[in-house]
C-alpha cells in the first residue's frame, strides 16, 4: 500500500526524470555529433607515433649500417637539418627520438600563404651519420587540410579542422557532454532490486529492448573513462580556467617568469652539445625530449628532459631555461617541487591519451573513443522508436475522436 506522502513523491520523481531525459536527449542529439567525430579522430591520435612511423618509414625509421653505434654530436645533427631549411625558415625545436632506431627531427616555421599564418615543417636526420633523410610539412595554421595525415587527425580531434574557433567550440561542447553523461547516469540509476538488470543485456530480447540495453550498459561501463576524457579535454582546451578551478581546492605554483638573454659582447650562441652538458650536470638522470632554439637575439634555450618518475611521457614538465650566449641557468622547473594542484593537472594529459598506464591504458582510451558512435546510434534509434510510438498513439487518438464525432 502506498502512503499519501509516497503518492505525492512519485509524481515528482517522474517529472524530474522526464526533465533529465529531455536534457540528455537534446544534448546527445546535437552535441553528440561532435562527440562522435572527435572520438573517432582521438582513437587514431592515441597511437599517432606508431601509425605515423608506419606511414613514413623512410623519414622516421633508421636502417643503420653495421658499426654505427653512437650518435654524432648534437650540433652536427642540428647543422645538417639547418642546411636544408629555407632561408626564410626559423628553426624551432630539436626533437629527440624515443627509440634507438628512430631519427632525430628538427622542426621549423615558415610564413604561410594566408597572411599572419604559419607553416610548420619537420626535417628528419639520421643521428649516426648526420645524413638528412628528408622533410615534410606537418601542418599549416591557415589551412587545416594541409599537412601530415596523423597531424590532421590530432588537430581535428580538438578543433574539427576549424582553427581556434573550432577549438573553443569543441571545448564548450565537451562541457555540455559532461553534463549529458551525468544526466545519463541519473537516468540509468536502477530501482531497488534491479541492479543486475541495469548492468546486463537481456538475452533473447526484442530489437527495441536490445538497442536500449546496449545504450545503457555501454554508457554505464564507459562512463568513468568518458568523464575523465571530457574533463581532461576541457583542461587542454581551457587550461587557465580549469587551473583556476583546481586552485580553489589545492595550491598551484605560479607560471614561470619571463626570461631574456643579454648578448653583451658575445653574439654567437653556444652549441647544443654545450647545452646538453650543462643540463646533464643539473639533471643527471632522465630522458631528453627536445631542445627549443632561441627565437631571437634575446631568446633562450629551453631544454625538456623528462624525469624518470614523471607520469607525463610526451609532455614532460621538467625543464631548464639557459642563456643562449653564456649557458647560465636562468630558470628551472622540476615536478618534484610541484604543489598538489600541479600534480593533479599533470595527470590530466596522460589520462586523456592513456599513456599513464602504458599500452593497456592507451588501448582502453582508443576503444573508448569508439563508444560515442555506439551511444549516438543507439540513442538516435531509441528516440526514433519513441517518436514512432508517439505518432501512432496520436493517430489512433485522432481516429477515435473522428469516430466519436
**CA dist., res. 238 & res. 171, Å (int):** 7
Residue 227 in grid coordinates? 568523464
Q: What is the pLDDT of residues 92-141, one digit of tens each?
A: 999 999 888 899 999 999 999 888 899 999 999 999 999 999 999 999 99
What per-residue confidence (pLDDT) applies to 64?
59
Convert 250-281 to b/e letters by CB count within 10 Å (16 or more is b).
eebeeeeeeeebeeeeeeebbbbeebbebbee
What per-residue confidence (pLDDT) applies to 7?
47
Nearest in space to 287 (alpha carbons), one of 99, 48, 53: 99
Which long-range CB contacts under 8 A does 351-356 form with residues at least 24 apart? 351/228, 351/229, 351/232, 352/228, 352/229, 352/232, 352/233, 352/236, 353/45, 353/46, 353/314, 354/46, 355/312, 355/313, 355/314, 356/311
Residue in the structure block whose three cell numbers are 650562441: 269
131 SS3 class:
strand
**CA dist., res. 122 & res. 138, Å (int):** 7
**CA dist., res. 359 & res. 222, Å (int):** 18
**CA dist., res. 72 & res. 93, Å (int):** 18
What per-residue confidence (pLDDT) applies to 377?
95
Residue 362 in grid coordinates? 592507451
CB count within 10 Å of CB 186 equals: 13
**CA dist., res. 127 & res. 344, Å (int):** 36
Q: CB of 35 within 8 A of CB of 195?
A: no
* pLDDT beneath 70: ranges in the chain: 1-14, 64-68, 255-258, 264-266, 397-398, 400-405
What per-residue confidence (pLDDT) applies to 5?
47
DSSP β-ladder status, 300-306 and 287-292:
antiparallel
**CA dist., res. 105 & res. 107, Å (int):** 6
Q: Which residues contact 237 (CB under 8 A, 6 or more apart)?
A: 158, 167, 168, 170, 171, 174
Nearest in space to 163 (alpha carbons), one of 231, 232, 121, 114: 114
What per-residue confidence (pLDDT) applies to 256?
64
Q: What is the pLDDT of residues 270-290, one digit of tens each?
A: 999 999 999 999 999 999 999
Residue 384 in grid coordinates? 526514433
**Phi and psi of 272, rounded to 5°?**
-65, -30
Nearest in space to 133 (alpha carbons), one of 91, 103, 108: 103
Angle at 281 between CA 276 and CA 285, to 5 degrees: 85
**CA dist., res. 234 & res. 247, Å (int):** 16
What per-residue confidence (pLDDT) applies to 246?
92
**Phi and psi of 292, rounded to 5°?**
-90, 125
**Phi and psi of 179, rounded to 5°?**
-65, -40
Question: Rounded to an integer, what is the distance from CA 184 to the centroid of its chain?
Answer: 24
CA distances from 329 to 257, 292, 325, 333, 375 (A): 13, 15, 11, 11, 52
Amino acid at each position: 500500500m502506498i502512503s499519501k506522502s509516497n503518492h505525492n513523491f512519485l509524481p515528482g520523481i517522474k517529472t524530474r526524470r522526464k526533465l533529465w531525459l529531455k536534457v540528455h536527449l537534446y544534448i546527445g542529439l546535437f552535441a553528440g555529433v561532435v562527440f562522435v567525430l572527435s572520438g573517432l579522430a582521438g582513437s587514431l591520435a592515441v597511437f599517432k607515433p606508431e601509425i605515423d612511423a608506419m606511414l613514413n618509414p623512410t623519414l622516421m625509421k633508421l636502417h643503420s649500417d653495421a658499426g654505427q653505434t653512437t650518435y654524432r654530436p648534437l650540433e652536427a645533427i642540428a647543422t645538417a637539418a639547418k642546411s636544408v631549411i629555407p632561408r626564410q625558415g626559423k628553426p624551432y625545436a630539436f626533437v629527440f627520438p624515443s627509440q634507438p632506431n628512430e631519427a632525430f627531427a628538427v622542426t621549423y616555421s615558415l610564413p604561410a600563404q594566408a597572411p599572419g599564418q604559419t607553416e610548420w615543417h619537420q626535417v628528419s636526420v639520421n643521428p649516426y651519420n648526420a645524413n638528412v633523410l628528408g622533410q615534410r610539412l606537418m601542418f599549416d595554421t591557415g589551412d587545416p587540410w594541409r599537412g601530415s595525415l596523423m597531424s590532421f587527425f590530432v588537430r581535428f580531434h580538438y578543433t574539427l579542422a576549424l582553427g581556434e574557433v573550432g577549438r573553443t567550440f569543441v571545448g564548450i561542447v565537451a562541457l555540455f557532454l559532461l553534463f549529458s553523461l551525468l544526466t545519463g547516469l541519473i537516468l540509468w540509476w536502477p530501482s531497488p532490486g534491479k541492479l543486475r538488470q541495469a548492468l546486463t543485456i537481456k538475452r533473447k530480447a526484442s530489437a527495441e529492448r536490445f538497442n536500449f540495453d546496449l545504450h545503457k550498459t555501454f554508457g554505464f561501463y564507459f562512463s568513468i573513462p568518458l568523464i575523465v576524457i571530457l574533463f581532461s579535454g576541457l583542461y587542454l582546451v581551457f587550461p587557465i580556467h580549469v587551473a583556476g578551478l583546481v586552485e580553489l581546492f589545492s595550491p598551484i605554483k605560479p607560471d614561470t617568469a619571463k626570461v631574456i638573454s643579454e648578448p653583451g659582447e658575445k653574439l654567437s650562441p653556444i652549441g647544443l652539445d654545450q647545452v646538453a652538458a650543462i643540463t646533464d650536470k643539473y639533471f643527471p638522470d632522465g630522458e631528453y625530449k627536445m631542445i627549443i632554439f632561441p627565437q631571437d637575439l634575446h631568446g633562450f634555450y629551453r631544454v625538456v628532459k623528462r624525469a624518470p618518475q614523471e607520469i607525463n611521457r610526451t609532455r614532460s614538465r621538467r625543464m631548464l631555461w639557459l642563456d643562449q650566449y653564456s649557458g647560465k641557468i636562468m630558470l628551472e622547473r622540476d615536478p618534484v617541487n610541484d604543489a598538489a594542484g600541479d600534480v593533479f593537472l599533470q595527470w590530466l594529459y596522460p589520462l586523456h591519451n592513456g599513456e599513464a598506464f602504458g599500452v593497456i591504458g592507451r588501448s582502453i582510451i582508443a576503444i573508448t573513443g569508439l563508444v560515442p558512435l555506439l551511444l549516438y546510434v543507439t540513442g538516435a534509434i531509441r528516440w526514433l522508436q519513441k517518436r514512432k510510438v508517439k505518432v501512432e498513439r496520436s493517430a489512433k487518438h485522432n481516429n477515435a475522436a473522428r469516430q466519436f464525432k
